[in-house]
Structure 1
Amino acid sequence: MNSKGGSTVGASAAELKNRKLRDTIKQLNTTIDTLNSLISTLQTTISEQNTREQNYKEQIDYLTKKLFGRSSEKKVGDIPGQMSLFNEAEMTVDQRQMTVPVKAHTRKKR
């Protein structure tokens, strides 16, 4: 009876140990699945944040150039191959006609 009882007790102890190991494996697999989904969610969030950050940088660059950049009224020079719309009238008018004689005068002293 001892040998049967001992083997039965030994088998049930081994069986209990196997059940505990299976339960532990299931819990670990569940934890791994949960962590993988969390990692995926965080990667998506990081990607969205990076995109948003890039958009903000582009907006800052644009606004900085708009605020501190060159004004469109300042003329750096003619672009080669680009026709000028405003010089056409000046080129057709004789330079002598553009000068207006002014009478000479002197200022009064105070």
Structure 2
Amino acid sequence: MEIYVNYRMKNGKLIARIEGEVHHQGRESGLSRLVYLDYKKNGSNLSIITNKIVISPVDKVSNDILKGMLPPFYLMVGASADIYIYPFHNAGYVFSTGMTPSLICLNKHR
């Protein structure tokens, strides 16, 4: 699996663009979708809920395959999560939905 996620956030709206390749049972399939979410800030943390998912015609990966790879808020309208955000050694931030980090965002300008 090689997936890239790009986020845009503003005024309570979040768009996640997910693109890449998923390898499953010896096959490689393209992944390309936009996930539209609403968010509310709670200190440095976020509460999110998915309100729309647009799957590109080149996206050939079923949600059944992705369930073991991505959190539900990328896959299902109405799915929600709390995102915890922690500073990472003055180099950026760790984003987590619980005890395991989901991603690390590094500051390239430091």
Bigger CA radius of gyration: 1
Higher relative contact order (CA 8 A, sep 6+): 2
The verdict on a shared fold, with TM-score over 0.5 as the criterion, is no
Question: The TM-score by the shorter chain falls in which range?
Answer: under 0.3
Relative to total residues, which structure has the larger helix share, 1 or 2?
1
Q: TM-score, normalised on structure 1?
A: 0.15
More strand by share: 2
Instruction: Name the TM-score, length of structure 2 as normaliser.
Output: 0.15
